[in-house]
Structure 1
Amino acid sequence: MKGLLMAVLGTFAIGTASLAPALAQDKPGTILVLDASGSMWGQIDGVNKIVIAREVVSGILADFPADEPLGFVTYGHRERGQCSDIQTVIEPAPGTANEIVRIVDGLNPRGMTPMTDAVIAAAQSLRHTEQVATVILVSDGIETCNPDPCAAARELERAGIDFTAHVIGFDVRGEAEALLQMQCIASETGGRFLTADNAQELTEALQQVVAAPAALPSSTELTLRAVMDGEDGPLVETPITWTFSLDGESFEVEGNPGLIELPPGPWEVTGYHVALEQEQSAQLAIVGRQPRTHSMVFETPVPTASLVAPDSAAAGKVIEIGWNGPDEPSDNIQIAHVGGRYIDFAYTRDGNPLRLQLPAEPGNYELRYSLRDRHVIHTRPIEITPIELDIIAPTTASAGSVTEIGWVGPAASDDNIQIGPEGGRYLHYAYVRDGNPLRLQMPIEPGMYELRYSFQDREVIHTRPIEITPVDLNIIAPETASAGSVIEIGWVGPAASDDNIQIGPEGGRYLHYAYVRDGNPLRLQMPIEPGTYELRYSFRDREVIHTRPIEIAPIDLNIVAPKTAPAGAVIEIGWVGPAASYDNIQIGREGGRYLHYAYVRDGNPVRLQMPSEPGTYELRYSFRDREVVFTRTITVTE
């Protein structure tokens, strides 16, 4: 029929002449599905329902057009208790009415009521025709096999079998569940649901559904989209070729997206991405109802890569890895547990071959090429073999001492030897790159500790215990000293780097210090303010580990000078004071900045320049050029 040939819309230009044979539409067919379950032996007005059905079917089919296809399906007529007792007795064909009447007359009801599966069997017998057809179901009871007739009917519609199921409920008045099931089968397939309580009503119901014309097939408006990397991806911009196939006939068109009208049928649609040389296919059941859209998803090709590396390597080593790949920004080569997160990586931009750090833990791993640091596009296995690990050190060491430690390990970047309390944070460390043996600072607190080999400063891979023994601590100094004087201090201690002797008020900040590396005894500046202080041994300039008290005694302070002096003159000034390093005599306005000064190391008396501006000034003794400890006034004259 010419009205069933495709109308081409949108961007497509299609020749359809070759499809005419495949799309020709014969007269619609009908399949009668008759309940022959045991309940059909029930009676209406003293007559068995199966007897009534035989008479009604015989009367109806006597006038059935001989040129229209008619088929027959029944169930429950052969075995008791079998849901599979369904038989397509007559396939749809013209001129079968008399044979169906003969078969119905010989039915002997005895089994279950699988009415839903019987409708499915009828629909499947129509599948090969792929044309509109009618199924007429006559049943007298509730479904006893399929748990959800409604869902089964919906699935038939989705499968693309274009049929309508009319359902006649025979003697089911008052059976709510049976009525609901039958009505659902009819409504889901676009058919009618009728009830009949006697022979006359059954005849009338069958006359109505047999006379109801089957719907002519209507075309479906189909939109085809070729997209990239997902249903919501962008449309393919390069050419797409579509191939439509039905019943051995096919045609091709180009365009994306496109709109086309197709008549009902199980269409095979293939989209070909010309640029990528990729093909996607789909079976589309066109049922002549609402417009529909179908998207075919094409995947962006993943670049290929390969790696050149040994099959095995020692734990913790740095190995060279050759690679072939796209070398896009952020591409990198990784090593990881198989299927796990990467452990270390190197960017391909860093060279070919590149150098990659291996894990310290032996086992089976994989090397990976990671595209843009997002997608792994190639892997290859590598076995990490064990290496020897050891720390060579004495079993004991003095608190605060620097001890030589030998080591055996991978010597990777930032590998180091640490010492700390067992399970606690490290206290001191030294990088293995600094030598073998290396020198490591011991803690100042006696007790049990552990030496550790830290791989890349990230992972402790070997430990051994060491006992830190107490060390003698002492400060040898007089019990008193003059304010501002420099005295000699003897000491006993670890003599670690930056160890120093300090003086300060008890519990307060230090005032002066001297490093123990400067000698033993060393020379230490005393405070200028008299009072009780403490001498301290500071371990590595971080921790005070020993103290002892010292009394700072007052000293005489004086400036010997005339009461007046001419402006601009240079006069002699005598002084009495501690004569510490950088002590000086200054002159300046009272409370103001100094104007001239002379160091006391330059003599006693010193020679000091007077200001050029007449007025009242003050002479000052500045202790270490930091603190004014004595003043007196002087008048500068014209």
Structure 2
Amino acid sequence: MKAHLLLILICFCLFLTAQDEKHESSALILIYDASGSMWGQIDGASKNEIASAVVTATVANLPQDQKIGLVAYGHRSKGDCKDVEFLAPTNNTDKSKISASLKAIKPLGKTPLAYSATLVIDKLKADKSKATIILLTDGIESCDGNLCEVVRKAKEAGIEFKLHIIGFGLEDGATESLLCAAKEGEGEYFDAADASSLGAMLQRATSATVDIPNGNFTVFAIKNGKPIDAYIRAFPKSRDEKEVAARTYADTAHIYLAPGEWDIEVKPLEQSDVKATTLTNV
């Protein structure tokens, strides 16, 4: 029996009004995993060493006036679930502060994801500001917190943020709670297995900010009547726009495509003999 791939693409039309006023970009806030497991090795180097170098390089390529905050957890105490600290404030524009802080980190403790997110979200609430939060972690919650619930309640309270989560070297089957939190945070979950893929995922996360409108295209892939994990790439016809990518994780992917013509490629990620499907001039 031949396998059939059905791509469902829904376009939500957005009416965009040109604005002459240039608005200041909102902050990026990185929550960095400094738990003991970051001493784990990938290609002969510790995950902390790799992540620190890749984050530093990514930050160096951000616009000069980009505000970038840094929060670390697990870097001061081995068993303290409240070991979370702002190493750079949310209004920081000094990139060297980020690189110096990362260089000084010595992984040690636990993984309080929910508490870390709570501190960042409470800061946004107190400041009445918005931000793109990027959580970089090599593991799941280890302090009995519920990250997905924290994010859900914050959104219900009207706090404005987007949460992206990058799982770095996570084991198979350890992503369910992280997928939930990213979805509730109107962001994306990204898998990274090495330095190269981590750099690519950080690039995507820092580009898909809270300042960009929510997705106006919804993509859902089905094979033989069942939802499948698929990788989505959208290629702009205009040189003024950048390629957009997302992953369905056997669910629904939301992407924002600026006005204009795009080619959209959908490729099944699960073992399959189905070739990629491409829609042109969308």
TM-score by length of 1: 0.29
**Equivalent position of 1:68 in the other structure:** 66
**1:203 corresponds to which of 195, 199, 211:** 199
**Equivalent position of 2:279 in the other structure:** none
Distance 1:113 1:216, change over 3 A: same
Secondary structure in structure 2 of the residue aligned to 1:167: strand
**Equivalent position of 2:276 in the other structure:** none
**Equivalent position of 1:182 in the other structure:** 178
CA contact (8 A) 1:33 1:72 kept: yes
Work out which structure has the larger RCO, using CA pairs closer than 8 Å and 6 or more positions apart in sequence. 2
Secondary structure in structure 2 of the residue aligned to 1:143: coil
Structure-2 separation of matches of 1:65 and 1:94: 13
What is the CA distance between 1:94 and its match in structure 2? Answer: 4.4
CA contact (8 A) 2:29 2:71 kept: yes
Secondary structure in structure 1 of the residue aligned to 2:175: helix
CA contact (8 A) 2:114 2:145 kept: no
Counting only pairs closer than 5 Å after superposition, residues 353-432 of structure 1 correspond to structure 2 as none
Secondary structure in structure 2 of the residue aligned to 1:195: strand
Counting only pairs closer than 5 Å after superposition, residues 315-326 of structure 1 correspond to structure 2 as none
Structure-1 separation of matches of 2:200 and 2:47: 16
**Equivalent position of 1:193 in the other structure:** 189
Structure-1 separation of matches of 2:154 and 2:75: 25
Secondary structure in structure 2 of the residue aligned to 1:87: strand
What is the CA distance between 1:115 and its match in structure 2? Answer: 1.4
Structure-1 separation of matches of 2:54 and 2:28: 17
**Equivalent position of 2:76 in the other structure:** 78
TM-score by length of 2: 0.65
Structure-1 separation of matches of 2:160 and 2:144: 22
CA contact (8 A) 2:72 2:85 kept: yes
What is the CA distance between 1:216 and its match in structure 2? Answer: 5.5
Matched to 1:122, the amino acid is V
Matched to 1:142, the amino acid is I
**Equivalent position of 1:133 in the other structure:** 131
Secondary structure in structure 2 of the residue aligned to 1:92: coil
Structure-1 separation of matches of 2:83 and 2:139: 16
Matched to 1:211, the amino acid is S
What is the CA distance between 1:195 and its match in structure 2? Answer: 0.6
**Equivalent position of 1:122 in the other structure:** 120
Structure-1 separation of matches of 2:207 and 2:187: 13
What is the CA distance between 1:28 and its match in structure 2? Answer: 1.0
**2:141 corresponds to which of 140, 143, 146:** 143
What is the count of residue pairs matched by the alignment? 194
What is the CA distance between 1:199 and its match in structure 2? Answer: 0.6
Secondary structure in structure 1 of the residue aligned to 2:90: strand
Matched to 1:191, the amino acid is G
**1:213 corresponds to which of 209, 223, 229:** 209
CA contact (8 A) 1:29 1:69 kept: yes
CA contact (8 A) 2:29 2:132 kept: yes
Matched to 1:59, the amino acid is A
**Equivalent position of 2:3 in the other structure:** none
What is the CA distance between 1:129 and its match in structure 2? Answer: 3.6
Unaligned residue ranges in structure 1 (runs of 5+):
4-23, 219-638
Secondary structure in structure 1 of the residue aligned to 2:150: helix
Structure-2 separation of matches of 1:32 and 1:216: 18
Q: Does 1:34 align with 2:32?
A: yes
Structure-2 separation of matches of 1:35 and 1:158: 26
Please give the per-residue CA displacement for 1:559-591, whole angstroms capped at 9, x wherever unaligned. xxxxxxxxxxxxxxxxxxxxxxxxxxxxxxxxx
What is the CA distance between 1:152 and its match in structure 2? Answer: 1.5
More helix, by proportion: 2
Please give the per-residue CA displacement for 1:321-348, whole angstroms capped at 9, x wherever unaligned. xxxxxxxxxxxxxxxxxxxxxxxxxxxx
CA contact (8 A) 2:133 2:161 kept: yes
Distance 1:161 1:171, change over 3 A: same
Distance 1:157 1:42, change over 3 A: same
Secondary structure in structure 1 of the residue aligned to 2:99: helix
Structure-2 separation of matches of 1:87 and 1:94: 15
What is the CA distance between 1:165 and its match in structure 2? Answer: 0.5
Please give the per-residue CA displacement for 1:442-482, whole angstroms capped at 9, x wherever unaligned. xxxxxxxxxxxxxxxxxxxxxxxxxxxxxxxxxxxxxxxxx
Matched to 2:110, the amino acid is M
Structure-2 separation of matches of 1:149 and 1:213: 20
Structure-1 separation of matches of 2:209 and 2:76: 33
What is the CA distance between 1:155 and its match in structure 2? Answer: 1.1
Structure-2 separation of matches of 1:126 and 1:145: 23
Structure-2 separation of matches of 1:170 and 1:47: 13
Matched to 1:159, the amino acid is A
More strand, by proportion: 1
Distance 1:46 1:217, change over 3 A: closer
What is the CA distance between 1:49 and its match in structure 2? Answer: 0.5
Structure-1 separation of matches of 2:23 and 2:63: 17
CA contact (8 A) 1:135 1:165 kept: yes
**Equivalent position of 2:222 in the other structure:** none
Unaligned residue ranges in structure 2 (runs of 5+):
1-16, 215-282
CA contact (8 A) 1:88 1:121 kept: no
**Equivalent position of 2:275 in the other structure:** none
Please give the per-residue CA displacement for 1:135-172, whole angstroms capped at 9, x wherever unaligned. 00000011001342221211111222100010000000
Please give the per-residue CA displacement for 1:464-503, whole angstroms capped at 9, x wherever unaligned. xxxxxxxxxxxxxxxxxxxxxxxxxxxxxxxxxxxxxxxx
Equivalent pairs: percent with the same residue?
35
**1:103 corresponds to which of 101, 122, 128:** 101
Distance 1:217 1:208, change over 3 A: closer
Structure-2 separation of matches of 1:25 and 1:159: 24
**RMSD over equivalenced CA pairs, Å:** 1.9
Flag as ranges the 4+ runs of structure 1 deviating above 4 A.
none
Distance 1:67 1:94, change over 3 A: farther
Q: Does 1:164 align with 2:152?
A: no
CA contact (8 A) 1:166 1:209 kept: yes
Please give the per-residue CA displacement for 1:191-227, whole angstroms capped at 9, x wherever unaligned. 0100101111111100111111323689xxxxxxxxx
Secondary structure in structure 2 of the residue aligned to 1:128: helix
Matched to 2:182, the amino acid is A
Counting only pairs closer than 5 Å after superposition, residues 190-339 of structure 1 correspond to structure 2 as 190-215=186-211
Structure-2 separation of matches of 1:206 and 1:138: 9
Structure-2 separation of matches of 1:89 and 1:120: 16
CA contact (8 A) 2:70 2:87 kept: yes
Matched to 1:204, the amino acid is A
